[in-house]
Amino acid sequence: MATLKDVAKLANVDVSTVSRALNNTSYVHPDTKARIMAAVKELSYRPNVLAQGLRSGKRHTIALVVPKIGLTIYEDLAESIDEEARSHGYAILICHTGNDPVVEKECLNRLRNGFVDGIIIAPTGKNTRLLKDIQAGGMPVLQIIRKQESSISSVIGNYEEGAYSSTRYLYEKGCRSIGLVNGDLARMPYAARYRGYSRAIRELGLEDISVSEKNRKTSSFEYGYDCTDQMLDLHPQIDGILTAVDIQGMAALRVLKDRGQKVPEDVKVISLTGYSIGEKLETRLSSCELPSQEMGRKSVQMIIDQIEAPSGQKPTVQHLEFSASFVERETT
């Protein structure tokens, strides 16, 4: 790899002149510049980003730390974040933790060493202290989807509202026994979903039928299958099912098929965190959809604002909440 030095030697000038010529940062004689450009081309010189980063302290890279890449809303988010970041001249480094706090910790510890300029994370919730430390150390951090700590900016959805209105919607459609397949209540969005659900249930005078297990991978098909199956064993009269995420909704559709119950005639199903897959299923899944494009874009803008803020100025902590919009498809 050619360096500035090589170019300088070939063009017969000092490295500083080459640097100035390339960055248009000071006067350089046209002839000199031409010679330099020729040398650059001949050696196919490209500046070393490491050295640039070392000087400037900037890496132009943002980390995205998520529990899972595929079959979740993070799929859509990752794509829009990647796109938006690229348009601002930043690259995205994706890490997935599998919801394992140990992996998350390891990951964060690598990232804080100047690996990236900022971190966008859907935190497991077990490393909140570390996250605060990292932010205190001057590294911009942004929580996405899961808001675990209010001293760190966040971009999330209004899960409570979505769960509430979906429950009421099922009621209006005639459902009188509505179950919720949820995840670990200690984790933010699941708790919010439950709040919304139970508020509606109370108002409607229905029975609270919700399942959630701890210590299991919530965003898995198997989890969704088991929860739904178990719920239907206990409450065979159920005619409406809400699931926290799409993969659970897919699992619910399978369970119902396996049990010979028709969707939406016998049982209606809504996923509370829909993403692009819902539209593509054999029985298209009705869901509450967050504007993942916009959320991704906004997240990138927020973190870049923090990154590029003048160093003295402490950026204000900001919490953005997007409402989901209900998309009616074939399961309701």
253 binds a second copy (CB under 8 A): yes
Binding DNA (rule: CB under 7 A), the pick from 10, 20, 127, 182 is: 20
169 binds, among a second copy, DNA, none (CB under 5 to 8 A by kind): none
Which residues inside 30-59 make contact with DNA, applying CB under 7 A?
A: 30-33, 45-48, 51-52, 54-57
Q: Shortest gap between Cβ of 50 and DNA (angstroms)? A: 7
Task: Please report, as residue ranges, which positions from 129 to 168 form the binding site for a second copy (by CB under 8 A).
Answer: 137-138
Should residue 54 be labelled a site residue for a second copy when binding is judged by CB under 8 A? yes
Tell me the closest approach of the beta carbon of residue 321 to a second copy, in angstroms: 24
Binding range to DNA, per CB under 7 A, among 4-12, 224-232, 233-241, 318-326? 4-12
Count of other CB atoms within 10 angstroms of residue 250: 23
> Taking the chain, what is the end-to-end CA distance rounded to the nearest angstrom?
60
Stretch that binds DNA, among 6-14, 66-74, 155-163, 314-322 (CB under 7 A): 6-14
98 contacts DNA (rule: CB under 7 A): no
- Our finding on whether 13 is near DNA (CB under 7 A) is yes
Residues lying near DNA in the complex (CB under 7 A) are found at 1, 3-5, 12-17, 19-20, 22-23, 25-33, 45-48, 51-52, 54-57
